[in-house]
Amino acid sequence: MRCGVFFGIIVLLLLSVPLISIAQQKDTIPAVTTFKFKTVIIDAGHGGKDAGARGSHSFEKNVTLSIALKLKAAMDTAITDVKSILTRADDTFIPLNQRSAIANQNKGNLFISIHCNSSPEGTAARAHKQKGVLLLVYGFHRLKEQEEAVRENASIFQEKDYKQNYESYDESDPSNLIILNAYIQKYRKQSILFGDLVDDEFTGIDGRESNGVKEQGVLVLAHSAMPAVLIETGFINNPEEEEYLNSDEGQHEIVMSIIRALRNYRKAIGS
C-alpha cells in the first residue's frame, strides 16, 4: 500500500510540472554543450519467422532489410563522423525488446525503424488504393487506438516469452507513467522534429504522398532511450508502391531522403 501511495505522489508531481519551453531552457543550459551526435540505430522491421506485411510478390522483412543495409552503407560514406548500427543484418528474427536493448546498449542518439505499410484492401490492383509514407513517433496513450500500432505490435506474439517480456507494459502502471513523462520531456520533440524533416524530404524532393507524422503506441519505439521514429516507407500491398519499394531506384530515393533529413536534424539540434 505504501509503495502504491509513493508512486502515486511521484506521478502527480511529475505530471503537474509543465514542459520547459526552449526559451526557459536557455537560462539553465550551459552556453557550451558537450553533447555529440555519435550513433544512429538502424532497425530493419520484422525478420526471420516474422515476415511482416505481404505484397503480391514480396515480404516486408526483405524490403526493410534491403533499405536498412543501403542506409547504413550511405551513412558510412556520407556521414562519416556518425556511427551506424543495425539491429539485424540478415533474415533473423529479433524480439522487439532486444532491438531496443541493442539501441540502448550502444548509446544511440537516434533510433530509425524501417517498415512497410499495409491496408485491409489486399494486393489486388484497383483504383484509389492507399498509398504514401507515414512517420510514427511514440504515443503511449494511443496504444489500443490505432491499427498501425496493433499491426506492428503483433510481432511480440512471435516471441516465446512475450507475456513475461512485456508484462510491465501497462498504461495504468505508475512506473510507466513516470517513464512516459521523462520520455515526453527529453525525446518527444526531437522525434517529431526528425519525423517532420524526413517527411519534408519524401514529399518535397521525391514527390511522394504522405500520411503525415503521427503519435502511436508502437512497442519498438517505446523502450528506446532516445528520439525514435518508425518510417512506413509505403504500402507494400499497393502494386504501384510495391514495385517502387523493391526497386533499386526507389530504395535509393528513400535512403537519400533519410540522409538529407539526418543532416538537417543535426543542424537543428546543434550537433
Correct CATH for 39-269 of 3.40.630.40, 2.160.10.10, 3.90.1150.10, 1.20.120.450? 3.40.630.40
- What is d(CA 214, CA 138) in angstroms, rounded to the nearest whole number? 8
Give the pLDDT confidence score for residue 165 in this predicted structure.
60
pLDDT of 156 over the 80 cut: no
pLDDT of 89 over the 50 cut: yes
- What is d(CA 219, CA 167) in angstroms, rounded to the nearest whole number? 12
**Which pLDDT tens digit goes with each residue over 17-76?**
343 333 333 333 333 455 789 999 999 999 999 999 999 999 999 999 999 999 999 999
Q: Which residue has the cell 507515414?
A: 134
**Which pLDDT tens digit goes with each residue over 213-254?**
998 878 778 777 789 999 999 999 999 999 999 999 999 999
Give the pLDDT confidence score for residue 15 in this predicted structure.
37
Domain ranges of the chain: 39-269
Give the pLDDT confidence score for residue 176 in this predicted structure.
57
Cell of 39: 550513433
- The whole-chain average pLDDT of the chain stands at 80
Residue 93: name the closest of 118, 117, 120, 59 by CA. 59
Residue 109: name the closest of 228, 267, 258 by CA. 228
- What is d(CA 209, CA 129) in angstroms, rounded to the nearest whole number? 12
**Model pTM greater than 0.85?**
no
Q: Which residue has the cell 512471435?
A: 158
DSSP state of 206: S
Residue 67: name the closest of 264, 254, 268 by CA. 254
Q: Report phi then psi at 147, rounded to 5.
A: -65, -35
Give the pLDDT confidence score for residue 138 in this predicted structure.
84
